[in-house]
Structure 1
Amino acid sequence: MTGHDSGPRGLPGIDTGKPHPARMYDWFLGGKDNYPVDEEMGRQLLALEPRLPVMARVNRAFMHRATRWLAGRGVRQFLDVGTGIPTEPNLHQVAQGIAPASRVVYCDNDPIVLAHAEALLRGTPPGVTEYLQADARDPDAILEQARLVLDFGEPVAVSLIALLHFVTDDDGAYALVRRLMSELPPGSHLVLSHASADFTPDTAKEAGDLYRSREVPLALRSREEVTRFFDGLDLVEPGVVVVDRWHPELGDPVPGQHDGPIPGYGAMGRKP
């Protein structure tokens, strides 16, 4: 069954003539909340990089491990920007499974994610789970709404999973991260995963050309460029590493073989 047959209908603001990263991500994960245009580009990308479905699962697994690490060390507030279409377990399920009173705010600008917000809000009774509709490139709006749910006097973990490679330098990628972290107290954390051209430069160039031809921004940053997002923060060991090598002992191994390193980085930093 195609995404066109099973996707939601009648939602305002959905451009079904242009691929959307969140919907392609959903397609790579085997979801049904996507459209033919997303599947078409997804198949073109698969022809360039057959490991993309594995890479999508690896990113989800990294988020699970990072959330477990944080919740296990007393962090009780989470702000997940660029949430994407829900895929269980969601961040709040991981966090509240360890600490039921955890407070989680999800943020995305895709109307399809808004349509699934009800699924995102099914948290544990002691905790709080909310969804806000905002663009990652508008950190002021995110902070204004998030502070209605989260206590900015206590540490907050900001989660940016597979998001920043869709925000170019011209769109202020580094500035938006600095702005998000600027309002948060010491002990807050930044968690991110980011695709990179470091390992497969030729494939990455072809993928970048394909994205640009569909008017979808793509900024595949080097390890050094990814590390810059943590300026002013203390990197948590083991630092900026290939995403599936960040604390693998915390579980969620991704099934299937993948030749060579996954072309992306994962890391966490703590605000001193």
Structure 2
Amino acid sequence: MLRVSVDASVAHNARVWDYWLGGQDNYLVDRQVGDHIRGVYPEIVQVARADRRFLGRAVRHLAGKAGIRQFLDIGTGLPAVENTHQVAQSQAPDARVVYVDNDPLVLAHARALLVGTQEGVTDYIDADVHDPEPILRAASKTLNFEQPVAIMLLGILNFVLDTEEAVAVVTRLVDAVPSGSYLVLTHPTTELGGAANEEAMRFWNENAVPPITARSGAEIRRLLSGVELLEPGLVSCSEWRAEEEGPPRVAQFGAVGRKP
């Protein structure tokens, strides 16, 4: 059995996010911080769930109509409903999915639960988004970087606090994949969330790890500069090709772009 060392005295993003999604893989401190933030900014639960539903819609499109068979999901988080490999392999059983995260609890669960189809492959890399080179080296053992790859960066670049560094990370990842590849991104923004969202983020940075930053639409467009956005462009992730009419707008931008 894999043994991991987890600090249960400080709230951690992966576990608080799991709590907001209705999961069980969290501790008292995560629930306390999660409840306080929800009290300040009740819409945070909608943000978490909208981000997860966006993932499902984006991956179904890519593995289905777009014909993508390789996915590099950086910032996996704890397993929840409709993980990337489950969605992709439901559309294309031979899809290959590599997850990346550096949280020890995520690592423990990923190895136990992220099991793919017989036809496809699901793998996990213990690495940090701040350093893309080890990610690319390890992922190349499972993915063929001469064929299109969908790079998934959902709710992860907000932990790269310096925008220039975040741009450099995305540029390196997109440079590593060929034409016809895709970039899938979500990112929190105070442009849509207002003062309560800003207060929630301040509380987070004082009481939980890792620290987080919001970005404006203009800053997020810089992260997407190497791809051509699919319709409807950069929008609240709840509104990106929503399956219901008039979904509530959440303070999380989402976009899918194709590398020309």
TM-score by length of 1: 0.89
Q: 1:15: Cα distance to partner? A: 1.8
Q: Report whether the alignment pairs 1:55 with 2:47.
A: yes
The farther-off stretch of 114-123 and 188-197 is: 114-123
Deviations 1:189-219 (A, max 9, x none): 1001111101233113212221221253111
Q: Is the 8 A contact 1:11 1:111 kept in 2?
A: no
Q: How does 1:1-272 map to 2 (within 5 A)?
A: 11-72=3-64, 73-169=66-162, 172-214=165-207, 216-249=210-243, 261-272=249-260
Aligned-partner residue type, residue 33 of structure 1:
D
| Matched residue type, 1:263 | A
Task: Give 1:119 shift.
Answer: 4.2
Q: Matched residues in 1 for 2:103 and 2:164: separation?
A: 18
SS in 2 for 1:200: helix
CA distance in structure 2 between the aligned counterparts of 1:200 and 1:98, rounded to whole angstroms: 34
Query: Does the 8 Å contact 2:239/2:249 carry over to 1?
Result: no
Change (3 A) 1:81 1:120: farther
Aligned length: 258
Q: In 2, Cα distance between the equivalents of 1:193 and 1:108? A: 16
**Residue segments in structure 2 that go unaligned for 5+ positions in a row:** none
Which sections of structure 1, spanning at least 5 residues, go unmatched?
A: 1-9
- What is the RMSD computed on CA atoms of the aligned residues? 2.1
Contact 1:80 1:104 in 2 (8 A): yes
Give me the TM-score of the superposition, normalised by structure 2. 0.93
Query: Could you tell me how far apart the structure 1 residues matched to 2:182 and 2:5 are?
Result: 33
Instruction: Check 1:236–1:53 CA distance in 2 against 1; reply closer, same or farther (3 A cut).
Output: same
Q: Output the CA distance in 1 between the equivalents of 2:3 and 2:213.
A: 29
Could you report, residue by residue, the CA deviation over 1:75-97 in whole angstroms, capped at 9, with x for unpaired residues?
Answer: 00000000000012211111111
Query: For the Cα contact (< 8 Å) 2:157–2:187, is it kept in 1?
Result: yes
Post-superposition, which runs of at least 4 consecutive aligned residues in structure 1 deviate over 6 A? none
Tell me the SS of whatever aligns to 1:74.
coil
The Cα shift of 1:39 comes to 1.0
Q: Please tell me the residue identity of whatever aligns with 1:227.
A: R
C-alpha distance in 2 between matches for 1:36 and 1:232: 42
Q: Which amino acid in structure 1 is aligned with residue 75 of structure 2?
A: G
**The residue matched to 1:202 in structure 2 has which SS?**
helix
Change (3 A) 1:170 1:221: closer
